[in-house]
Amino acid sequence: MTKHLKIIDYAITSLLRRRYKSFAILAAYSLTVTTLASVLFLTHALRTETDYIMQGVPDLIVQRTIAGRHELIPVDYAEKIGAIPGVSGIRPRYWGYYYDGLTEANYTLLGSGGEPAPLQMLTGRLPVNPGESAVGAGVAALRGSAVSGELILVNSRNIGVLFQVTGLFRSESNLLTNDLVVLTDRDIVDFFGFPPGEATDFAVSIPQSSEIQTIAAKIKQLYPDTRPITKRELTRTYDMVFGWRSGMMLTVFCAAIIAFCIMAWDKATGLSADEKLEIGILKAIGWDTADVLALKFWEGLIISLTAFLSGMILAYVHVFFFNGFVLAAVIKGWSVLFPTFRLTPAFNLFYVLIMGFFTVVPYVASTVIPTWRAAITDPDSVMRG
Amino acid sequence: MALIEVEKVSKVHNPGLADEMKALDGVSLSIERGDVAVLTGPSGSGKTSLISLIGCMARPTEGKIRVDGKDVVKLPERFLTDIRRRRFGFIFQQFHLIRELTVLENVLLPLYPLETSFRTMKDTALAILHKLRIDGKKSLKIKNLSGGEQQRVAIARALVNEPQIIVADEPTAHLDSRLAQEFMDILKLCNQEGKTIIIATHDPFIQTNPLVSKTIAMRDGRLESMKKK
Ligand SMILES: Nc1ncnc2c1ncn2[C@@H]1O[C@H](COP(=O)(O)OP(=O)(O)O)[C@@H](O)[C@H]1O
Ligand SMILES: [Mg+2]
């Protein structure tokens, strides 16, 4: 035990003795880990955001299209659709977009009869009575609603309407609720001036996921002017928007680069004559082969573990405090679509362990293995020049 | 029984390769406890090869070597290390100190692989440095020392694990006559404490020193003569 502590102590001394080389390796290595971990954190965070969204998405959405454009759908379509075998429920959804000229931002206005999922992330309560509202963190920040408890929006007849803020969305999923304003269904209809008896679309519940495709086809047959969108199709769209697949590709690419750099570095440097001599001296004065290898092991572990941890911390800060601004340019899409939204920290221990494994193990191996040959040879070589 | 017995030892360097070299050929000799033995002979006669074998830093191609009655030729590597560590202190021609480490750190090095605590290690090392009157420079790096000071650090490192046997290869090659005398004075002290000393050298100053109790002359890898005083 004491012996190992002493060897660790000597390993640290040795690293400090070669401080420029050690520092160069550490810096290059941390940077690579930062890049790699940023990609992982970013894609994972986006993936998690997507999952949040998908939780709230109904099995099937039925829209009405006219001339290829999304139109309001008559509420009485619901009766026949709801009667199709396999459909367990159907409800009309009232929502739309609102451009706020004052803050130059787009909000999503949603009727409270709508999404069940985001409602779990609410402080306060959803609107129940006319004139009440629940708003997302982004909207609240832009309009100071958290403080005033009020929100004024201009309706389709160009009249300002005052809403009381009864709930604020927490930021567990910013992407989902950031630009959200929830009103009662009645207020939405009135605000946008929907014709009576029409909704934005239908949310259809289908417990048996294998039936979704057939039911979608039946709806299309029943009402040719509708467009049923399955959850699967939506997921695919989100995936493409976030480009997380390309992110994974990038990850693999980075991993390959890391491996390559380590190998190249190792080939380029190998063991210097000085290092070989030092190993010989240590052996001659009573260090065992195992002691020398332990020394190199600790040197490698200290460097790679430090690089790994600092790389991870840098990546975490980069992604979750600075929204991955460096990588955002690479993984396009989300930053363009959602310029103001802030990523929620999401952490996958498995990824982190994998990363740790792939950074620490090869490096330690690449420091110990070249030493091996020098360490097992007889130390009498130090007796000559 | 002699402390070191070498029996018909041969050493071939790089066997089977183009630069194969028979450095030792059937050498037999013995060194008693308390001896100050000097190996002489022209350059290339096999002195270094022989003391490497005696110091358990390499194995002979043929023959037997016994240290304190124990045959070391066939011992597994870690036992050889153990013998090196417990019985031998080496002083190399080029000193082979680690230049970027301090005096104290260099002297501590042989003690790292032992289970002694840092405190004990340090006390031992400081005592030796004091004895060799170099403790005033303990925090200096080797590269900032003079040749004579480096020599003393090298000796301190050889002595720190309290070896029975001190092995030195051309120890005065880089020293002027005053420092060479100083070196012999230190060895004398060690010898008075009962340590056995083996020196490979072609320096007549050492060869004729009154401390020497046995002279072993080498030529072309063979033993030419062995004289006891
Ligand atoms: N590792 C080695 N490989 C090849 N030849 C060696 C090696 N070590 C020593 N020799 C050769 O063996 C002979 C004896 O060398 P050495 O033992 O160093 O003699 P000395 O110390 O008396 O000068 C020399 O010819 C030398 O070149
Ligand atoms: Mg020699």
B2 part of a folded domain: no
B84 with A286: Cβ contact below 8 A: yes
Outline where DSSP puts E strands in B77-195.
88-91, 165-169
Per-residue pLDDT, averaged over A303-317, amounts to 90
Contact A40/A258 with Cβ under 8 angstroms? no
Per-residue pLDDT, averaged over A314-328, amounts to 76
Whether A385 has a pLDDT exceeding 60, the answer reads: no
Find the domain containing B214 and state its range.
31-62+79-228
**Residues of B whose CB is below 8 A from A378:** 52, 57-59
**All structural domains of chain A:** 2-53+240-384 (no CATH), 95-193 (2.40.40)
Query: Which residue's CA is the closest to the ligand 1 atom numbered 12?
Result: B23
> What local confidence, expressed as pLDDT, does residue B60 receive?
94
- Ligand (nearest to CA of B22): 1
Q: Is A7 on the interface with B (CB under 8 A)?
A: yes
CATH number at residue B212: 3.40.50.300
Nearest to B214 by CA among B74, B81, B33: B33
A382 with B96: Cβ contact below 8 A: yes
Outline where DSSP puts E strands in chain B.
4-13, 21-31, 36-40, 62-67, 70-71, 88-91, 165-169, 196-200, 214-219, 222-228
> What local confidence, expressed as pLDDT, does residue A233 receive?
75
DSSP B141: B
At how many degrees (to 10) do helices A349-376 and A244-269 cross?
10
Q: CA A214 to CA A224: how far, in whole Å?
A: 15
B15 part of a folded domain: no
Q: How far is CA A57 from CA A136, A233, A324, in A?
A: 18, 11, 27
Nearest Cβ partner of B115 from A2, A288, A380?
Answer: A2
Per-residue pLDDT, averaged over A156-161, amounts to 91
Element (H, E) at A180: strand A180-183
**Residues of A whose CB is below 8 A from B121:** 6
B67 part of a folded domain: no
pLDDT (tens digit per residue) in B193-203 = 999 999 999 89
Give B125 Cα–ligand 1 centroid separation in angstroms.
Answer: 33
Q: Report the atom number in ligand 1 closest to the C-alpha of B170.
A: 21
Which residue ranges of chain B lie beneath pLDDT 50?
none
N residues, chain B: 229
Nearest to A229 by CA among A64, A113, A69: A64
pLDDT (tens digit per residue) in A76-98 = 999 999 999 999 999 999 999 88
B142 part of a folded domain: yes
**Residues of B whose CB is below 8 A from A277:** 96
Predicted ipTM beyond 0.95:
no
Q: CA B159 to CA B156: how far, in whole Å?
A: 5
B6 part of a folded domain: no
- Ligand (nearest to CA of B50): 1
Contact residues for B175 (Cβ-Cβ < 8 A; gap 6+): B147, B148, B151, B183
Least-confidence region, from A64-78, A182-196, A239-253, B26-40: A239-253
Mean pLDDT score of chain A, rounded to an integer? 81
Mean pLDDT score of chain B, rounded to an integer? 92
B40 part of a folded domain: yes
Nearest Cβ partner of B81 from A6, A277, A286?
Answer: A286
Q: How far is CA B10 from CA A128, B28, B219, in A?
A: 101, 10, 14
Question: Which of A4, A5, A283, A380 is the mutation pick for testing B, counting most B CBs within 10 A?
Answer: A380
Nearest Cβ partner of B98 from A2, A281, A376?
Answer: A281
Give B40 Cα–ligand 2 centroid separation in angstroms.
Answer: 10
Ligand 1, CB cutoff 6 Å, lining residues: A 384; B 13-14, 19, 21, 23, 41, 43-49
A278 with B98: Cβ contact below 8 A: yes
Give A93 Cα–ligand 2 centroid separation in angstroms.
Answer: 95
pLDDT (tens digit per residue) in A322-344 = 776 666 655 544 433 344 455 66
Give B161 Cα–ligand 1 centroid separation in angstroms.
Answer: 28
Give the pairing of strands A105-111 and A180-183.
parallel
B11 part of a folded domain: no
For chain B, how many helices (H) and strands (E)? Answer: 7, 10
Query: Which residue's CA is the closest to the ligand 1 atom numbered 2?
Result: B13
How many domains does the structure of chain B reveal?
Answer: 1
Element (H, E) at A279: helix A273-284
Whether A267 has a pLDDT exceeding 70, the answer reads: no
User: In A, residues 262-291, which contact B (CB 8 Å cutoff)?
Assistant: 277-278, 280-291
More confident residue, A113 or B119: B119
